[in-house]
Amino acid sequence: MFLEKNNNSAGRSGYIEVICGSMFSGKTEELIRRLNRARIAKQKVEIFKPEVDTRYADENVVSHDENKVKCTPVQTAGQILLYDIDADVVGIDEAQFFDMELVSVCNELANRGHRVIVAGLDMDFRGVPFGPMPGLMASAEYVTKVHAICMKCGNLAQFSHRIVPDENLVVLGETESYEPLCRSCYSEAQSE
């Protein structure tokens, strides 16, 4: 169970929560759910996302089922600390697109007493740990791994299989570019 106490006291204790998984697993949906619960509890919330993520909207975090919340797009992780954050809860979406400094930024925010909730892909399309996510998971107090459903067999999926020919690490896309696959179906697709 996640702590959702009111952190308005001078001696508040911060911590990091990471929500990770493949594409279409509900990471952003879970992030928005937690942020909304904090707002219902009258906590101040601030949300950031990487400027590069413009799939749905420039200044909103948007889930695949079109739930959205206003956010601040930033170019680098370090820019987050430039903001005068007067929030109990800091949300960060699409963490895999940030530079490695995100790990120290999140730890700094937690050390300042903020509850930090980070969502991102844990692996890239090659099945390799993605950007700052391994470091975030190692330093977080709570890690939640969510799963999609395999598009081939219906089992739990943890891989984001790219279905368009492009070897660039970052290719923004949705169902036209990616499909979630289980380990077995992903291995089979990689051998084709």
Alpha-carbon distance of 41 to 53, in angstroms, equals 29
3-state secondary structure of 101: coil
Residue 95 and residue 73 in contact, taking contact as beta carbons nearer than 8 Å? no
Give me the phi and psi of 135, to 5 degrees please. -65, -40
Residue 72 and residue 48 in contact, taking contact as beta carbons nearer than 8 Å? yes
Best CA proximity match to 96, nearest among 64, 129, 139: 129
| Count of beta carbons in the 10 Å neighbourhood of residue 2 | 12
Alpha-carbon distance of 41 to 136, in angstroms, equals 26
Residue 18 and residue 144 in contact, taking contact as beta carbons nearer than 8 Å? yes
Q: How many CA atoms lie within 13 A of 152 on its CB side?
A: 18
Catalytic residues: 94
